[in-house]
């Protein structure tokens, strides 16, 4: 399922009907939804715009330099459960009781924090000292992306996330940029599948090669994108070991050496 972000550019609530289902977008709001639904939303509401989400996007804050930190958006993880259990204090029972909440890491979403830039002393027209309000700045980390931020801003965003309600933390965390050699939408499905298997042998790898061939084109695109999303959470987490191209080639040679695949097919795979 290809995802895009839609934004309501108007000051009014926008409503769309897709397959009989009502979709509502508040004034100025953003939401990540299926691309097919987004296109229909825009067709019905010209004041709604689409913003494409790039899996593995790497960006830097304008002032980032020197002592910086990479922060990743960890929402939208397909391997996460739909709900999480949080122990909440029951004042009447005088004890902690388990309560189910929607998992904030399951659904992909933009993480935005508003930074108050404070005040700055300026010389007034009469020669005195005046205070200039520097306004606010919105810092956004899209889903499936990492952003390089000055250490003080990164730490502030992590603290804000950590101070959220217990069932709503962990949306962002320390990350790292996408490696030079890493699968993208241009790779063949089987290559992406093998690359994920190499890094996460116990992961759900989706359809087999034989099953993939029987899928419709849209289903094929969705199957590949799901694997690419899973791979984002492999490279974005600093604690995980990453393999390079040479190691991937060795993995493929070992995996397919006993298969019935033709030698030239394997050589073609290794050349990618």
Report the pLDDT value the prediction gives residue 187, as an integer from 0 to 100: 93
- Please give the average per-residue pLDDT across 228-235, as a whole number: 94
In Å, how far from its chain's centre is CA 159? 19
Query: Are the C-beta atoms of residues 174 and 72 closer than 8 Å to each other?
Result: yes
State the residue for tokens 């700045």.
Answer: 137
Taking the C-alpha atoms of residue 57 and residue 16, their distance in angstroms, rounded to an integer, is 29
Residue 265 has pLDDT above 70, yes or no: no
* Residue partners of 205: CB distance under 8 A and separation at least 6: 193, 196, 197, 227
- Please give the average per-residue pLDDT across 145-158, as a whole number: 91
To the question of pTM greater than 0.95 for the whole model, the response is no
Dig out the tokens for 164 from the structure: 């959220």
Name the pLDDT band for 4 (thresholds 50, 70, 90).
confident
Average pLDDT of the residues of the chain? 84
DSSP-derived pairing of the beta strands 145-150 and 57-60: parallel
Q: Give ∠ CA 240-246-250 in degrees, rounded to 5.
A: 95
Question: How confident is the model over 29-79, as pLDDT tens digits?
Answer: 777 777 888 888 889 988 888 877 777 877 777 665 667 899 999 998 988
Report the pLDDT value the prediction gives residue 262, as an integer from 0 to 100: 46
Question: How confident is the model over 121-133, as pLDDT tens digits?
Answer: 777 777 777 777 7
Taking the C-alpha atoms of residue 231 and residue 172, their distance in angstroms, rounded to an integer, is 17
Report the pLDDT value the prediction gives residue 120, as an integer from 0 to 100: 75
Question: How confident is the model over 237-252, as pLDDT tens digits?
Answer: 998 899 999 999 999 9
State the residue for tokens 């709900």.
Answer: 83
Taking the C-alpha atoms of residue 45 and residue 43, their distance in angstroms, rounded to an integer, is 6
């Amino acid at each position: 399922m290809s995802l895009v972000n839609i934004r309501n550019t108007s000051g009014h609530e926008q409503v769309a009907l897709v397959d009989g289902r009502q979709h509502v977008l508040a004034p100025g709001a953003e939401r990540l939804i299926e691309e097919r639904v987004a296109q229909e939303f825009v067709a019905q509401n010209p004041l709604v715009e689409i913003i494409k989400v790039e899996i593995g996007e790497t960006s830097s804050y304008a002032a980032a330099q020197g002592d910086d930190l990479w922060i990743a958006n960890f929402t939208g993880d397909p391997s996460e459960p739909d709900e999480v259990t949080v122990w909440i204090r029951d004042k009447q029972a005088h004890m902690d009781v388990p309560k189910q909440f929607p998992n904030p890491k399951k659904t992909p979403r933009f993480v935005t924090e508003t930074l108050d830039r404070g005040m700055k002393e300026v010389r007034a027209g009469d020669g005195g000292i005046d205070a200039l309000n520097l306004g606010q700045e919105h810092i956004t980390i899209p889903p499936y992306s990492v952003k390089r931020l000055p250490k003080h801003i990164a730490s502030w965003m992590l603290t804000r996330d950590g101070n959220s309600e217990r069932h709503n933390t962990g949306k962002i965390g320390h990350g790292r940029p996408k490696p030079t050699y890493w699968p993208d939408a241009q790779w063949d499905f089987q290559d992406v599948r093998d690359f994920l298997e190499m890094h996460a042998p116990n992961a759900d790898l989706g359809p087999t090669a034989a099953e993939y061939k029987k899928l419709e084109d849209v289903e094929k695109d969705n199957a590949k994108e799901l694997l690419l999303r899973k791979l984002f959470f492999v490279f974005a987490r600093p604690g995980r070991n990453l393999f390079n191209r040479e190691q991937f080639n060795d993995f493929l040679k070992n995996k397919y050496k006993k298969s019935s695949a033709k030698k030239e097919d394997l050589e073609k795979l290794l050349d990618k």
